[in-house]
Structure 1
Amino acid sequence: MAALSGVNLTIARGEVVCLVGHSGCGKSTLLRVIAGIETPDEGRVFLDGREVSGPSAFVEPEARNVGFVFQDYALFPHLTAEENILFGLKRIARAEAREKAQAIIARVGIGHLAGRYPHMLSGGEQQRVALARALAPQPGIVLMDEPFSNLDQGLRDRVRNDTLSLLKALGTTVIMVTHDPEEALSAGDRVVLMRSGQIVQSGTGYDLHDRPVSAYAAEFFGASNKVPGIYRDGVVESAIGRFPRKLAVGDGGHVTLFVRPQAVSLSLKHGDLPARVVRRRFHGEIEQLQLRIDDLPAPLEVRTMARLPAGTEAVHISVTTDQVLIFPTSSSP
């Protein structure tokens, strides 16, 4: 099986694009092909209008004007932060290299770290040094492979926001690989979902989350209740209601409804369907409930910010029709 197949992707100058998908989907391979670390068997890669990889052209990675931030940052342990940054500027005069290094050190805000060695830096500080090293040669594009995955959650969010704010301010084109759906949705101007070496869907975070083109995309970007249904005369019939839809499914065809927990609203007295509470899990701001509904094989997972009285067993639910995603059962993951 090919690591990449039929990939066609155009990225605008200054755009932040997140490549996302499960492990082995080809996202890191695509990044390495762009960088020139790997050579594709066929196809072409253009950077700023120049062909850098193709049947009759191949430009070495160091000549592509591309910056790379690795998952483990790849800092040289025997060099200080400033020396690590200078290492990527060996091809220019020393005085000019030092000037560029000082400029990016100031811009990234790591002047106080310049004389320290990597083992003296926290994970977030190492990430900022790695970013400064990638930016020092003033690359046309920065490639980032899981750059924040080694950081704790709270620190990860802050460092990611600071990093992307800086890159946007510099007008840098960024391609970032991540396996985290939430990170992709929040960080990218555009999100590219991959599977088995191919692009499944490309668009804004809102496009992929709210308007997925397949069951795979629907499930990747949000936990969903899967409810079986039957399609008849332009209407999907299910245990949670009837939903008008135009689907490429014949009458009597089996479909799967993807119902995200936030698409279900609760009431003690009013609603479209009665339900029984079989489990409650408190998460602080929200409460997650499992509800048993007649004719539904599995409990329905629901999240609510409304605190139900202790001991509540009987509730009513309503499902927001336009938030129910429906696909032929054969296309489910």
Structure 2
Amino acid sequence: MNKLLAQELYYLMVLGRKFEYAAKENYMKGDVSGFLHLDIGQEALSVAAMKAFEKGDVFATYREHVMAIARGLEPKAIMAELFGKKTGVSGGKGGSMHLFDPSHFFYGGDAIVGGHIPNAVGCAYARDIQGSDDGVMVVFGDGATNGGAFFESLNIAATHKLPLLFLCENNEYAIGTNIQRAAPFKQQSKKAEPYMLTYSVDGMDAVAVYEAVSSARKQIEEGHGPIFLEAFTCRYEGHSVSDSNAYRSSQEMSHCKAKDPIEKLKTQLHEHWQCSEEIIDALEAKAQKSVDEAVVFAQESKEPEADTLYEHVFVEEV
């Protein structure tokens, strides 16, 4: 990783966190409806994984705002989608949990836990049949590894040596249930070991995530078959905005926030890449400006017309 890339990761991580806080603020005002799952604390994984997997298809969970931004989707269009406006990524009809943009090969926001994993397998199968060098990455939480479709997906991907990266975002909680109450071990990669190569990485370290995903991407593109990568992270907020997060102690949260990924990368920028405080401040100001503009854009955009409710319901014959 070079200095310019490290700065880009930092900018996107700060942008992602500021975007999430703005989304939360406007949710509280009543301008954002439906469910809202914030990614605060997990920006290192969301940003670095997307930047390391720029070539290929990506399937993401419903906690996907920051991933979408890092993938190249416009913050204005994402915020407008949260506001339910016609200028949104999905025309204002999908909301927070359904950010979808084929032009960026981003198939994100599946509201069903683990529901997108079989879809990613199908996409990887298609890539393999087409003889494409591009791989597929599917991001999911630790809770999704307890579903039957997860194991079926592992089996099919391994049997056919598909170019698929399984990226498990292990923040130890499936809504409010700790993973060790729902599985016999904390490391969910153990479930994948009989099927494929597995690796783990500190999901709070952007540089480590970037290197791990880059390495895994190279392996699947070279035909080694699927890879399972487990990233250990910590989300600072509850499962959604309606979740008070009361099931986690103050001591646990203090330990969690002591590993803040943005502060860690800022320290690395200072110490390893000799970035000045002026450069850091400029990146943060740029991120704030982008978020402020996104909110204004969303506020000023029009709502979709009523008859658009019937569009994109069925496939139209050509």
- Under a length normalisation based on structure 2, what TM-score does the superposition of the two structures give? 0.27
**Greater CA radius of gyration, 1 or 2?**
1
- Under a length normalisation based on structure 1, what TM-score does the superposition of the two structures give? 0.26
Higher strand share: 1
Q: Which has the higher contact order (CA 8 A, sep 6+)?
A: 2
